[in-house]
Amino acid sequence: MILKSEIRPGAYFDSIVLMQLQRKLAAMPGVEDAGVVMATPANIELLADFELLSSEGKRAGPDDLLIVVKAKDEATAADALSKVNALLQQKRAAISQEFRPRSLNLAVKQLPQAEWVLISVPGRYAAGVAEEALELNKHIFLYSNNVTLEDEIRLKHIAQQKGLLIMGPDCGTAIINGIGLGFANRVKTGSIGLVGASGTGLQAITSHIHNLGGGISQAIGTGGRDLKAEVGAITSIQGLEVLKQDEDTRVIVLVSKPPAAEVATKLLSVAKGTGKPVVVDFIGYPPPARQLGNLHFATSLSEAAEIAFALTNREIVLEKMEGQTKGYLRGLFSGGTLAYQALLGLQNVLSPIFSNVPINKHQTLEDPIKSKAHTIVDLGEDVFTVGRLHPMLDNDLRIRRLHQEMEDPDTKTILFDVVLGEGAHHDPASELAPAIAIAKKKRKDVEFIAIVIGTDEDPQDIEAQIEQLEKVGVNIFRNTAEAVAYIDGHFSSQGEGTGPPVSIESFKRSLAAINVGLETFYKSLIAQGAEAVHVDWRPPAGGDEKLMDILAKMKK
């Protein structure tokens, strides 16, 4: 077998064209295999793995088009390479003759009503195209991968400040006002909106909802890295806010692969704040319950679709978010397991939350003596019990901490436990109730919640304990789950003030878009009845990195 290569410096074709050319070369008589790629390090490595890399091919750079033919003899290989231009010309002839702008600026002039830009150029150029689209105030569907994390964070912050949405990088699926972007299924329009960091997850759920008889209002992709701690779920949060605004969306589905723990907490807090039923499927993330207020937790993609569809057939009463508690919760516990259980439940609805018995590293309370934001403190930990009795026996430390928390104007709720039984304080309410009464005289805006653990046979007389606490206005619950559910229904999420919201209007108008990259996406838009313009894109400066840097500096 003969291996023959051809290098075309600075030549660019989209990956669909390269794939088609490769297949046509490989199908020629006497040709065993072929490779047609941009000569990036990863593609060079793949060619080597498939025994398609010659010494000549190794000299190709990442901006070069590398064409390789493996044939039975040199004449066959040379003949195949000689037909490359003709095959590419056939492709060009197959393209309709309408005017195709060579730049995003010209495309915007050709289709001024376009509010969306689809980008599927090679990753090393994608950030530059996205930045240009943001300068033109366009929302972005960024299919390209191999965009650096630093560029993703930078671009999303720019978009956030401008009230624009970047779906991606590496976003494969979205449905905007009935039009599928990327790899989307054709589904009925309806009342279920989705936000997803998993493209195939969005496809699986939207297809299942369609097959059940339901429909999709919007499906907003985010790209898989959006839920990394460094990115902070910027697009996911914007997507939830869009669906909150959308009157046609009655039920929301939130799906992703396992998010960073602190991001999951933040997202659930925002989802709660929509006031709409939200079905959550964090794949591989253990749900805290089957339901917490308006949050419904699913354990599979199909179950997420089924719960969402079932909810659309119910009378939905939107959660009233106005008039809810603002400020922070402070939990003062004598029982370590109760503190941990409270944190386990509350971390899904309160953000940020800290503790001296953290579940995740980011929840660590640096100074257990001083609370910050939402805080759960186990006062039975070693730092508090050196030289003093455990708080199950001695309320002095807890009462002091209670008054300390009342000095903080951000404290709005104090949660504590009262654990009865043999060996515990003989009458804890007789000390706690007077302290609470004094505190409430100073701060009428602070709510007190107690979890009382015990039985009617305990020596402390549980009914008398509850009566003393209720007399000073304490809300009583008999287990942690009930207290968490109550808190979930009364605390509003803490807004971050991160820029203007994305306007729902862009999602309600007939979709008009500019496509930069894969022509397949352009054809898909046209086939679905959307207005679209395809940019005849080429790498700036022919892909020359040094010249690209010079041009970028000149532009700035």
Domain boundary among 94, 114, 142: 94
Q: Do 4 and 71 meet the contact criterion of CB atoms below 8 Å apart?
A: yes
Which pLDDT score is estimated for 190?
96
What are the strands of the beta sheet with 531-535, ordered from one edge?
A: 166-167, 139-142, 116-119, 512-516, 531-535
What does the pLDDT look like over 405-456, one tens digit per residue? 999 999 999 999 999 999 999 999 999 999 999 999 999 999 999 999 999 9
Beta-carbon count within 10 A of 323 CB? 8
pLDDT exceeds 90 at position 293: no
User: Are 387 and 274 contained in the same domain?
Assistant: no
Asked if 346 contacts 329 with a C-beta cutoff of 8 angstroms, the reply is yes
The CA-atom distances, in angstroms, between 127 and each of 10, 17, 519 are 19, 22, 19
Residue 495's pLDDT is 47
Q: Give 545-549 contacts, CB < 8 A, sequence gap 24+.
A: 545/63, 548/128
Instruction: Report the CATH number that the domain containing residue 428 is assigned in CATH.
Output: 3.40.50.261
Q: Write the pLDDT tens digit of every residue in 320-348.
A: 544 456 789 999 999 889 999 999 888 87
Contact 143, 168 (CB under 8 A): yes
Residue 215 has pLDDT above 50, yes or no: yes
pTM of the model: 0.74
**CA–CA separation, 31 and 28 (whole Å):** 6
If DSSP states are collapsed to H, E and C, what string results for 255-316?
EECCCCHHHHHHHHHHHHHCCCCEEEEECCCCCCCCEECCEEECCCHHHHHHHHHHHHCCCC
Give the domain extent around 340.
Answer: 328-490
Lowest pLDDT segment from 226-240, 241-255, 363-377, 378-392:
378-392
Kindly state whether residue 496 falls inside one of the protein's structural domains.
no
Q: What is the mean pLDDT of residues 3-24?
A: 85
Alpha carbons 343 and 361: distance in angstroms, whole number:
13
Are residue 462 and residue 334 in the same domain, yes or no?
Answer: yes
What pairing do the DSSP bridges indicate for beta strands 173-176 and 216-221? antiparallel
Within this chain, do residues 478 and 393 fall inside the same structural domain, yes or no?
yes
12 pLDDT above the threshold of 70: yes
Asked if 174 and 246 sit in the same domain, the reply is yes
Please count the structural domains in the chain: 3
**pLDDT (tens digit per residue) in 264-278:** 878 888 898 898 999
Six-digit token pair at 384? Answer: 């508090």
Residues 353 and 424 in one domain: yes
Same domain, 123 and 265: yes
More confident residue, 260 or 442: 442
- 510/79 Cα distance (integer angstroms): 49
CA angle 307–287–167, rounded 5-degree value: 70
